[in-house]
A = this chain, B = another copy of it.
Amino acid sequence: MPHEIAPRSGVAFALDRGQRLSVIDPEGGQVADLLAFNRDDIGEVISSGRTIDYASRLYLSAGDPLYSNRSNVMLDIVEDDVGRHDFLLTPCSKAMFRIIYGDEQPHQGCFGNLAEALAPYGVTEDMIPIAFNCFMNVPVDGATGEIVVLPPLSKAGDRIVFEARMDLVIGLTACSALQSNGGSFKPIHWEVA
């Protein structure tokens, strides 16, 4: 049975080198922000800037490695039912809900959920970079550079599977931003094999 992450919440857990993590969208249309840290040296963290540079591509899928800020491969994407994820944007946060949504009493968002879940592993807020946002659908206009956040393309039961290339701490959420999730908050499932 997979683990369930309740809507607008997050978890952290250990993932050993060689293990496979499945991130599953049980109802469809729900984003899951994923972070990875080197469990033996927590300053090493997933890096969108290095990964995109080496892939020469914004959109990553099965076959693509995810690199760290030290240019080591942390995870390989080994299966992908959806083919569209985001690796440009930081996790939603109180500040983001204030600036973009105008919320006066904002939710702590994926950023707060990740910070809370990862704190026992020694991760501080300033160490949280751009996440690999599973199922997040952010098309780019090549001419103007404009980006837009559309509902995910994931359908009920779709999954993306990662294989760990080092011993990791994983942070994972059921995303808290309305726009990213087609207007409703749903759970995320995950399992390790």
**B-side contacts of A122, CB under 8 Å:** none
Whether, in the assembled complex, A47 has its beta carbon less than 8 Å from a beta carbon of chain B, the answer is: yes
Q: Provided the pairs A52-B89, A70-B95, A89-B53 are in contact, do residues A58 and B126 lie with their beta carbons within 8 angstroms?
A: no
Cα–Cα, bound, A87→B88 (Å): 10
Copies of this protein chain in the complex:
2
Mark out the residues of chain A between 50 and 101 whose CB falls within 8 Å of any chain B CB in the assembled complex: 50, 52-54, 56-59, 69-71, 88-90, 93, 95-96, 99-100
B126 touches A56 (CB 8 A): no
Q: How far is the CB of A41 from chain B (nearest CB, A)?
A: 9
Binding site for B on A (CB under 8 A): 43-45, 47-50, 52-54, 56-59, 69-71, 88-90, 93, 95-96, 99-100, 124-126, 128-130, 139-148
**B-side contacts of A144, CB under 8 Å:** 57, 59
Some 23 contacts from A to B, beta carbons below 8 A apart, are: A43-B124, A43-B126, A45-B126, A47-B90, A52-B88, A52-B147, A53-B96, A54-B100, A57-B147, A58-B140, A58-B147, A59-B144, A59-B145, A69-B90, A70-B125, A70-B126, A71-B96, A71-B99, A88-B88, A130-B130, A139-B142, A140-B140, A140-B142
A140 touches B145 (CB 8 A): yes
**B-side contacts of A90, CB under 8 Å:** 47, 49-50, 53, 69
Cα–Cα, bound, A140→B59 (Å): 11
Closest residue on chain B to residue A98 by CB atoms: B71
Cα–Cα, bound, A59→B145 (Å): 5
One of B124, B130, B146 near A49 (C-beta < 8 A): B130
Cα–Cα, bound, A129→B46 (Å): 11
